[in-house]
Amino acid sequence: MKNESPSPQSILPTKGIVDKIPTTNPSWPLYLILAITLVISSVCYQFLPLSQALVAGLLFICIALWATSLVPAYWPALSLFAFATATQLAPNQVIFSGFQSSTFWLVFSGMVFGAAISHTRLNIRATRLLMVMLGNSYQGTIIKIAAFAMGLAFLIPSGVGRVVLIIPIIATLADHFGYGADSNGRKGMLLAAAFGTFLPAFSILPANAPNMLLSGMAETLYQTPFSYWQYLLLHFPLLGLGKLVVTVGVILWLFPDKAPSQTMAVSIEESAITKKEKTLLLILCSCFAFWFTDSLHHISAGWIGLMAALICLWPRLGLTGKDTIDKGLQYGTLLFAAGIIGLSAIIADSGLGSVLVNYLTQAIPFSPNAPLLNLSLLTFISTCVAVVTNLAGVPAIMTPMAEHLAEVTGLSSNAVLMTQVLAFSNVLLPYQAPPLITAIALGKLSISAVTKVCVATFVITGLILLPINFFWWHLLAMF
């Protein structure tokens, strides 16, 4: 894997995360994963129908290949489509549901926005702005990067798109500040950007895929569309700002370093804002305004993003290059996203997820007279689902069970649905989250470094933030 740092003039890479993966891995791990897959399917077949046993094996092999990066990330996704279609594990509309979801088009539009920002050189302006803001101290640099990264979540709806945009910028700034390839300073800056734009975004409705999956499924199944403002009020104070504070503290604790070297910083010439930059800013601000007022017009964030992306791609405006569609977008990442959504849909359609949830609800002692205990147990169940599948699998599996769980626990359906957010916003391992995998590839980050931050924030959130969050919900009369 090459360690060449991107320049400010080419902030957005033209190749996807899957192209960064080395091809010299030994073959035995692949054979081991295949053998375990066969064993899992065979054992499950003793207790479950053949279709569910096959889905269990498919679930394991996809997660294992995505987690280990032994093959490009698009390969398991394409294999999933081929195997599920050939064996008729689910209807085609379920298998390929990822391509029909607004979440997929949010990822697509986020990539187009990133390409437009790079083409119009707004990224250079952002780099200069960050260089002016950062550099007083290492602690201040980490705090400001994380805050800036969280701000992007209000503007760009795709977690992968934000990571694709910000990680190369921060990598360039780390070079300018004198942090070497293996230094804590460089790791800290990149981790602050990745986690800062990812973890707090679960409290902003259109900012991450699981949020949108939960919103879309709740509206489809229960005719209860989520309000942007209500969702923000419920989650942002603790899962947004609180998680940002925890993340910054964890990074400063795990990766301490000296202050940036001011002599290493290079200046980027200041220039007047161009007409193309103004046009792109107008489009992005208009897109954000439509997201912000979704409770009035009820248009999905994905379709708003797609319309804004189409405007960015209009040739006469010159906001994107002529080869943006052919070469500028990361189709491997798009297939990866579609594969994850499709896998979750297949699990839900097969009933395997319901089997897991039903087993847990029978084994776990819910009590109608103990709402706080029930909220904690529901969060625990959703967390287990997130670890077994991935973050996007939580709404796919848990949302169809919401009414049943509401009856068992005595909580409102809305409270049951919202416990999913507490679970999929608390990431235990990097493989659960495509944006983190993207950050690992683009930032040349070690999996161990990202895992340390994941585990530390997971524990602190469970012990401190979640209890405070339940108290906040009580104040808002959620239970």
Q: Note the pLDDT tens digit of each residue in 16-70.
A: 444 444 445 568 888 888 898 899 889 888 888 888 889 888 888 887 787 676 8
Tell me if 4 is assigned to some domain: no
Burial 333-367 (b: 16+ CB within 10 A, else e): bbbbbbbbbbbbbbbbbbbbbbbbbeebbeeeebe
List phi, psi (to 5°) of 428.
-90, -45
Which of 168-182, 257-271, 279-293 comes out lowest in average pLDDT?
A: 257-271
Burial 40-76 (b: 16+ CB within 10 A, else e): bbeebeeebeebbbbbbbbbbbbbbbbbebbbbbbbb
Task: Answer yes or no: pTM beyond 0.75.
Answer: no
Closest-CA residue to 136 (of 290, 311, 259): 259
Q: How many domains does the chain have?
A: 1
Task: Determine the pLDDT at residue 83.
Answer: 92
Instruction: Give the pLDDT confidence of 296-307 residue by residue, as tens digits.
Output: 777 776 788 889
Mean pLDDT across 78-98 = 89
Instruction: Say if residue 6's pLDDT is above 50.
Output: no
Tell me if 3 is assigned to some domain: no
Q: How far apart are CA 177 and CA 179, in angstroms?
A: 6
Range of the domain at 241: 12-16+22-475
Q: Residue 124 in contact with residue 358, Cβ under 8 Å?
A: no
Q: How far apart are CA 324 and CA 14, in angstroms?
A: 9
Task: Determine the pLDDT at residue 177.
Answer: 82
Instruction: Say if residue 161's pLDDT is above 60.
Output: yes
Task: Determine the pLDDT at residue 154.
Answer: 84
Higher pLDDT, 405 or 9: 405
Q: How far apart are CA 161 and CA 106, in angstroms?
A: 9
Instruction: Say if residue 400's pLDDT is above 80.
Output: no
Task: Determine the pLDDT at residue 71.
Answer: 83
pLDDT band with cut points at 50, 70 and 90 for residue 271: low
Share of the chain above pLDDT 70, in %: 87
pLDDT band with cut points at 50, 70 and 90 for residue 149: very high
- In one-letter notation, the amino acid at residue 214 is L
Tell me if 327 is assigned to some domain: yes
Tell me if 383 is assigned to some domain: yes
pLDDT band with cut points at 50, 70 and 90 for residue 422: very high
Tell me if 7 is assigned to some domain: no
Tell me if 389 is assigned to some domain: yes
The conformation of residue 205, written as its DSSP 8-state character, comes to: G
Share of the chain above pLDDT 90, in %: 23
Tell me if 45 is assigned to some domain: yes
Task: Determine the pLDDT at residue 22.
Answer: 43
Instruction: Say if residue 391's pLDDT is above 50.
Output: yes
Q: At what angle do helices 102-119 and 331-350 cross, to 10 degrees?
A: 170
Helix, strand, coil percent values for the chain (each to nearest 5): 75, 0, 25
- In one-letter notation, the amino acid at residue 264 is M
17: left (phi over 0), alpha (psi -120 to 50) or beta: alpha
